[in-house]
Each structure stands twice: as structure tokens, then as C-alpha cells.
Structure 1
Amino acid sequence: MRKKKNGFRRPVIVKQSKQQQHQPSVDPITGKKIPKSFVFSRGKLPGSLKQLQMDLRKLMLPYTALSLKEKKRNNLKDFLNVAGPMGVTHFLILSKTASAPYLRVATTPQGPTLTFKIHEYSLAADIARSQLRPRCPKDLFKNSALIVLSGFVSGDPPLQLTTNMFQNIFPTIDVKTVKLPSCQRILLLNYNKDTKLIDFRHYSIRLQPVGVTRRIRKLVQSHQVPDLRNLQDVSDFVTKAGYGSESEADEEAATVTLSSDIGRMNRASTKSAVKLQEIGPRMTLQLVRVEKGLCSGEVLFSEFGEADGKGKGKGKSDDEMKYEEDSEGGEDEEEQDGEHPEDSEDDEELD
């Protein structure tokens, strides 16, 4: 007979930078509460999904815990106990079954919870390696990303709930007072009604002045003296064509007129081209379940079968049953044990 002692449950550790410690809880302009998030996992994850978890934390910056330290024996109550005093409003929870990884997005402290099956994903590092000139400025994650939703039908309750969930994860902006330099990232969610899949894409936003050659842009931005040894005149440097198409940024559909200065090249009342460059992570998601509570409660929607209103679904597939075993069974075990894995050496073998 194996007997376990009641060990001490290690708390969830959250390390915050000085900037995060002084973050306001209410937006001074809109007067609305600023949403904050925890991104963590339930169960054991392979290395690639652990990196996806870190990529999601960076995506949710600055209003998330980038250095959240979690233990295997920490359950949802542990995270809720820390989330309350810190003003955390949403959980993003990664998990893995034998068939597929899942992402749960939940509103604290009482739900609802949306469960997405991750069909495909690419890490931010994979996206960067596929690009000729990866772009990641040092201040890219200083401000929250903008959220853009496409293809979500307002009349479909599950999709409407998905729309509301993602809109509330990020701070709202006032288009009249927002500072353009703070808009550096965008999160795009595109729903395909035929496949029922959601394309999850994360981009950086950059501006290029219209009518200015690439050589001049590089000269102004780099602050370096150009190499003119092989040129007869300075005008040769200005007029010589650069690499790539110099007219790609001059398309009317991609240009905007700025209301304020942004950097050295993009000046107020001038036209600039808006360029999006993917920075990752990238995911293909499918909404498979909606629960009324926080990872529990009445099932409002299930892609696997008809819900019976008691948190269980009828006609579930093997994949759904396995998901419930991993997500719910692990929580029950942790509630009963109340121990940290490092305390296992104190277990005693009794005859």
C-alpha cells in the first residue's frame, strides 16, 4: 500500500518587470478595465508546444506574465488565487492529447471557456527563418496588438461568443486619441465557413513613405555614410534602382495619409504605404467546445456531439473522450493529491 503525505502546494510564481508593476488597471482615456492574461499549460507538453506557449505570451504582451512559473501540481484554483489580485481577466491554456493539441481561452473567474483544436501551427522562429529579412524591432511588443476579425457571422451564437471573447482579450482603443506609433502589431483571425477553421495570424505593421526609393530609405534610417567610390556623381546614388520593385509601395490601395509624424521618414500629411510582415506564431484553429464555466459547467456547444446540459455530450468521438479524460482527470488527481512533484521523495512504502 502506497501512502502519500500531505505536502505543501507550491504557489504559482509570477515575475514582473518594473514596467509591468506600474501598469494601470484602467485605461485613462477610455475608462475601461485593461484586460490581462495568463498563458500556461495543463499536462505535459512536447518541446515545440512549450515554445508555442512562449510565443503566445509574447503575443499577449505587455499585459501578460512573460515569466510565469508553473508547477505540474498547480491547478486552476492556484492560478485563480494569483489572478484575482493581479487583475488577470483571461486564461490561455495549452494542452495535448494523443491525437491533437488544444487551446482553451477562458474568462476569469467564472467563464465561459472556448476550446479550440489546433490543426496546424508554426512557431515564430519558423516564420522568421522562412523570411529573407525578418523584422523584430526592440519596441515591437511595448504595446498591445490590434485585433481584426474576418468572416465571423454575427447570427451564429458560437461564433458571436468567439468574437466577443477575442475582442475583450485586448485593450480597446479610441480611434480619435490613439497614438499611431503605438500601433505596431496586428492579430488577424479569419473564419472559413466552409471548413469551419480559423486562420490565426500575427503581423508587425510598418510604414514606408510613398515615392521614396529603397536606397534613400536605407540612407535615412541607417544614419551611415553611403559607399560612393564606384559612382561618378551623388545623383547616381539617388537615381540608381535598388533591389526589388521600387513601385511596390506606391499602390493606392495600400497607402494612407498620416495625421502625425512617425519616425524620421513618415511625416504628417504625407502618404505612406502600410506593410504587414508576419512574425508568428501561426495557427489553424477549430472551435470544438464552449463551456459556461471556467473549464467546466454546462456545455453550450460541442462540435463532437449534442450537449445534454450537464457538462457532458452525447455521441462524442474518441477524440472528445480522450480530451475530457486528459483535461478533467488530471485536475481531479491534483485536487486529491495536493502535492508538488518534488515532494515525491517523501512518499512512503507501507506493507
Structure 2
Amino acid sequence: IMARGHGAKRKKRRTHVRDESAEEAAAPRSLILRRGKSVAQPVVDLIANMRVVMEPYTARRLQERSKTKLRDLLAVTGPLGVTHLMAFSQTDLGVNARFIRVPRGPTLTMRVTQYTLAADVARMSRHPMVAMQHHLMHSPLVVLNNFTCKEYTGGDHVLPIVAAMFQNMFPTVNVQKVKLNDCRRVVLFSYDIERDCIHFRHYMVNASPAGLTKTVKKVIRAKIPDLHKFADISDYVLKGNVSESEYEDGEDSRVVLPQDYVGRGNRQSHQSAIRLQEIGPRMCLQLLKIEEGVCDGPVIYNRFVNKTPEEIAEMRRAYAEKQASKATRRAIQEENVKRKTAKTMESKKRRRGQKEGAESAPAGDAADEEYHSSGTDDDEWFRREVGSQPEQIK
């Protein structure tokens, strides 16, 4: 390793913590974890892919333990500012995913009927793309499709709850202040009424100047194409008859950019073609149950059990009584703890006062008392041994 030469400049590394803006402080944060011991490696990879999707407001390198209790995780969500939990588990019937809004709920339990990892999506793509770190600096845009369909027969309140859960997992977008360069990814939740499931997709946003052929697009790219076979660049641009298929940009994908966007030629007030390229993962989710609380409380919806309004009212009443009893027991426990703490402090204070009183007694009085007691003992010994009173020395 060569030493830094005399007079060489030292590069300043920014080590101070950057202050969060108001938007970042209000952004929802999530924890994505696995529950249970019997979780296969593909499910672990799916969890890692979902952490990439939820960047940057998630714990990407979270090391959870199989012995960690849910109540322990809920205890740290408040100090960490976590608003959502996404828990994946695996049973003999399949893979389940729970979407939890903390601290008061609701909880959505879903069955992951099908899933495809990001690596498999890239393997199927002709021109695969991988989300880099600069793509993950901002949260993706969330798009909800078909969550207001009137053909749904599970209840008028079910789909709005599901849509609100998915929408609130991502930061809100202020259309007046948003920067186009921050919009690099899109997350899609689409409800399929025929299969009664929710399709999840993750895309990357690409833009290119509209109305250009493939050859012109290659020229404006950073990587210069091989032109050694052509005497002039016009021969390369105008070679052959350009077919209509080479103008790949459809009319519905062309927009006029209000701001500059990443990529060559994407300038403000110019027309560009917007494309979405899937980067994975994919999931097909089937709603099983909705609970009012955090993995607890009255069941709002159950895919396999239908209850009458009277049964729902009775369930709510029993849950309210249970919560009231729990609150009463908690208040009694807190009162007992306060009483025992006060008693312990009073005992310590009393012992401390006795010790200080013993230490503050005058040393002369103690010496005189010891002298007189010692003298009395000596006189008694003299009378017992000699048989007469000792003479008093004046």
C-alpha cells in the first residue's frame, strides 16, 4: 500500500447523519419477515425480493429468529416508526402472507397460490433488467386496478379494506412537488374477478424519445454502435426501408414530459415513450381472512365461514368483554407494581436513615462508655479474686 504523497488532497467522506424531511418522516415503514421454522428456501428468496420492492423504507438486512415472538416485534414497532408488518409462513397447504397494520390493525391473511422470483422473471425476459441501488432510493408508485368492481360478492367493505391496506403501505405522492426522476418503479395490484385473486407485479419505468427508429435510438445511446461498414452515418440511419414495426412506440404510451427525465433525449416539453419492464417478483394472492386487530379481534371476513349479523354482533360483544377484562387486569397489575415499588423504596430509605444515625454518634461518648464499662468489669474481677475493694486512686 503506497502512502499518500505530500500535498495530496484528502477526500472528505460525509459521515454525518442526514436530517429527514417531513415527507420522509411521515412515510410508512415496514418489516418483512418469516414466521415458523419450516420455511423453504424459495420462500426465503421471495421475502428477500419483497424487501427490495419495499425499499427504501424497510429493513432489508433484518435477521429474524425463529424464537422471536410477535409481541416482541410489536413492542419495537413504535420506537422504530414501523407502520406495517408483512409476515410469510409455510404450511402443508401452501404459503401464507399476513399484512398487518400496527398498532391497531387490521390484519389481512392471504394465501400465496403462485409466485415467481425476480431471478426467474429476469431469466424469462429477452432483455433482463435488475434494480440497482439508484433505482431503490425512492419508493415505487402504487397502482390499484379493479378494486371497485361491482361483481364482487364477498361484501361491500372487503375490497376497500384490502385496497386501503395496499395503498397505505407506500408513501403518498404529491403531484405538485413530485420529481419525475424519483419515479423509477411501479407496483401493481390488480384484482381478478374470475379467479378471485390479486395479481402483484413489480415494474421498472423506462423512457425514450418518441417517434424514433431502432437505429436512431442506438445512435443516441451512450454506447456507440459499430459503424465501420458505413461511409456516412446517414447510411446507417437510413439503411433499407424502415418498416412500420420499427416505430415501436404506441400512441397511448407517448407523453409530453413536464420535467427532464433520466436517459438521453428525455427533455422537458418533449414527447417520450414510457415503457414498463417487469423485474419481479410476481405473486398471486387469495384473501382468506380479515381481522380487526393485530392477528386478533373480530373477524370481518372469512373465506370459508359465513356468519349471520347476530353471530357477528355476539362475537364483537365477547371481544369487547375480553378487552375490558384485560384492561382491568392490567390496571390491577400496574397498581400492585406501584405499591410494591413504593414499599421497597420506603424500606431502603428507612435503613439508610438508621445507618446514617449510627455513623453520626460522637466518638468521645462512645470512648467514655467503653472506658466505664471496662472499669466496672475490672473492679468486679478484683473483688472476686482478692476479697476486698480496690483502692481508689485520686
SS in 2 for 1:125: helix
Kindly indicate whether residue 60 of structure 2 is the aligned counterpart of residue 66 of structure 1: yes
Distance 1:26 1:106 in 2: 24
- Report matched runs for 1:318-333 at 5 Å: none
Q: Distance in 2 between matches of 1:244 and 1:175?
A: 36
- Assess, with a 3 A threshold, how the Cα gap between structure 1 residues 214 and 291 changes in structure 2: closer, same or farther: same
In 1: Cα distance, 2:98 partner to 2:183 partner: 27
Question: Structure 2: which amino acid aligns with 1:39?
Answer: I
Percent sequence identity over aligned pairs: 38
Partner of 1:255: 254
**Alignment CA distance shift 1:154-1:132 (3 Å):** closer
Q: Separation in 2 of the partners of 1:137 and 1:125?
A: 11
Q: Deviation of residue 211 (structure 1)?
A: 1.9
Checking the alignment, whether the CA contact within 8 Å between 2:131 and 2:279 is kept in structure 1 is no
Cα distance in 2 for residues equivalent to 1:50 and 1:243 = 47
Q: Could you report, residue by residue, the CA deviation over 1:58-80 in whole angstroms, capped at 9, with x for unpaired residues? A: 00000000000100100112212
Q: Write the distance in 2 (CA, Å) between the matches of 1:38 and 1:119.
A: 22
Q: Is 1:24 paired with 2:20?
A: yes
- 1:1-351 alignment to 2 at 5 Å? 22=18, 24=20, 26-27=22-23, 33-43=26-36, 44-138=38-132, 139-153=134-148, 156-222=156-222, 224-240=223-239, 245-249=245-249, 251-263=250-262, 264-307=264-307, 309=312, 310=315
Structure 2 residue aligned with 1:331: none
Which structure has more helix as a fraction of its residues?
2
Q: Which amino acid aligns with 1:124?
A: A
Change (3 A) 1:99 1:110: same
- CA deviation vs aligned residue, 1:138-190 (integer Å, no higher than 9, x gap): 22211101111111127721111001111110000111211011111111111
* Cα distance change, pair 154–231 in 1 and its aligned pair in 2 (3 A): closer
Larger RCO: 1 or 2 (CA < 8 Å, sep 6+): 1
Amino acid at match of 2:171: P
- Contact 2:212–2:247 at 8 Å: present in 1 too? no
Change (3 A) 1:108 1:26: farther
Contact 2:218 2:225 (C-alpha < 8 Å) held by counterparts: no
Aligned residue for 2:331? none
CA distance in 1, matches of 2:138, 2:74: 25
Q: Write the letter of the residue equivalent to 1:226.
A: P
The residue that corresponds to 2:337 in the other structure is none
Q: 1:239 to 1:82 in 2, by over 3 A?
A: farther
Match of 2:323 in 1: none
Amino acid at match of 1:257: V
Rounded to whole Å, the distance in 2 between the matches of 1:198 and 1:61 is: 22
SS in 2 for 1:134: coil
SS of 1:69's partner is: coil
| Local SS of the residue matching 2:235 | helix
Q: Is the 8 A contact 1:204 1:276 kept in 2?
A: yes
RMSD: 2.4
- Aligned equivalents of 1:261, 1:302: Cα separation in 2: 48
Which deviations, in whole Å up to 9, do the C-alpha atoms of 1:242-271 show, x marking residues without a partner?
Answer: 99942111x211111001111322111111
Which stretches in structure 2 are left out of the alignment for 5+ residues?
Answer: 1-13, 151-155, 317-394
Q: Distance in 2 between matches of 1:225 and 1:271?
A: 23
Give 3-state SS (helix, strand or coil) of 1:273's partner. strand
Q: After the TM superposition, which parts of structure 1 deviate over 6 Å for at least 4 consecutive aligned residues?
A: 241-244
The secondary structure found in structure 1 opposite 2:194 is coil
Higher gyration radius (CA): 2
